[in-house]
């Protein structure tokens, strides 16, 4: 079982987002990746289709009471995988990260699992489908490096980017909760954590 590093330095602040670099050590990353493997054995990853009919390059699954789904019917939170199976509980290893960095007493009820294979990306978007937008979103990176772009409260304008590495944790809360953000690209093969390569991103929220 790995550890969450006692942070010597405060997190990097970037446009109101807190970037905790290297928060999860290698053993912790490996344990968490295995916990996620167990989840997706029950609720397999799939590439969501946007309401406009385009297949996303990222593959998704979820854990917790609610999972984010997208299909021809639109974006929404759902208590079940498209197969009808309820999402498995959020692994304890992942809940510990929320406890450490979120500043919230309330636990998250949703853990979205995004898998980026070679060439996958995520366009600029805001996370605004949750019932209450006062709770932060906590994001965990596992596997290959990813170029994370942070924009503004409206679409467009100047942006700043940061490379996220395996074990990094980002907290998006307060004034920054509704900033546009996205993943431009990953450096496929930069990490050995996942057997088939790629990057896992876990986002924890209070969705319901």
Give 128's contacts (C-beta < 8 A, 6+ positions apart): 178
Candidate list 66, 201, 206, 207; residue touching ligand MD6; CB under 6 A: 201
The one of Fe ion, ligand MD6, none whose footprint includes residue 170, by CB under 5 to 8 A per kind, is ligand MD6
Identify the residue among 127, 130, 144, 168 touching Fe ion (CB under 5 A): 127
Site for ligand MD6 contains 172 (CB under 6 A): yes
CB of 26 to Fe ion, least distance (A): 26
User: How many CB atoms are located within 10 Å of the residue 141 CB?
Assistant: 28
Residue whose pair of structure tokens reads 């980026």 in the numeric block? 116
Nearer to Fe ion, 42 or 104 (CB): 104
Q: Which residue, chain included where needed, has tokens 């009808």?
A: 84
The answer to whether the CB of 65 falls within 8 A of the CB of 131 is no
State the maximum Cα–Cα separation within the chain, in Å, rounded to a whole number. Answer: 47
Secondary structure E strands in 165-207: 169-172, 181-186, 199-205
Minimum CB separation of residue 79 from ligand MD6 in Å reads 21
Distance spanning both ends of the chain, measured CA to CA: 31
CB-neighbour burial class of residue 46 (10 A; exposed 0-12, middle 13-18, buried 19+):
middle
Pair 108, 90: CB distance under 8 Å? yes
Q: Tell me the residue nearest to Fe ion as measured from the CB.
A: 127
Helix (H), strand (E) at residue 41: helix 26-42
At its nearest, how many Å lie between ligand MD6 and the CB of residue 193?
Answer: 15
Q: Cβ of residue 56: shortest distance to Fe ion, in angstroms?
A: 13
137 makes contact with ligand MD6 (CB under 6 A): yes
- Cβ distance to ligand MD6 smaller for residue 61 or 203: 203
Residue 191 in contact with ligand MD6, rule: CB under 6 A: no
How many of the other CB atoms lie within 10 Å of CB of 160? Answer: 11
Contact status: 130 vs Fe ion (CB under 5 A): no
Q: Which parts of 87-126 interact with ligand MD6 (CB under 6 A)?
A: 114, 122
Picked from ligand MD6, Fe ion, none, the partner binding residue 59 (CB below 5 to 8 A depending on kind) is none
Residues of the shown chain interacting with Fe ion in the complex, contacts defined by CB under 5 A: 127
Q: Which residues bind ligand MD6 (CB under 6 A)?
A: 114, 122, 127, 137, 139, 148, 170, 172, 181, 183, 201, 203
């Amino acid at each position: 079982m790995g550890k969450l590093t006692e942070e010597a330095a405060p997190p990097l602040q970037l446009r109101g987002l807190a970037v905790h670099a290297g928060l999860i050590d290698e053993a912790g990353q490996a344990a968490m990746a295995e916990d996620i493997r167990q989840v997706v054995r029950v609720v397999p990853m799939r590439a969501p289709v946007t309401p406009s009919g385009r297949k996303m390059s990222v593959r998704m699954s979820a854990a917790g009471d609610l999972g984010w789904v997208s299909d021809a019917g639109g974006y929404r939170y759902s208590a079940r995988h498209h197969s009808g199976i309820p999402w498995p509980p959020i692994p304890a290893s992942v809940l510990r990260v929320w406890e450490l960095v979120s500043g919230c007493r309330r636990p998250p009820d949703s853990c979205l699992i995004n898998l980026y294979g070679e060439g996958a990306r995520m366009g600029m978007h805001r996370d605004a489908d949750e019932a209450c937008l006062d709770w932060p979103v906590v994001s965990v990176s596992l596997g290959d490096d990813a170029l994370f772009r942070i924009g503004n409260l409206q679409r467009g304008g100047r942006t700043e980017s940061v490379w996220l590495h395996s074990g990094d944790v980002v907290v998006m809360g307060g004034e920054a909760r509704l900033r546009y953000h996205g993943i431009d690209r990953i450096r496929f093969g930069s990490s050995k954590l996942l057997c088939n390569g790629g990057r896992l991103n876990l986002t924890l929220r209070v969705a319901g």
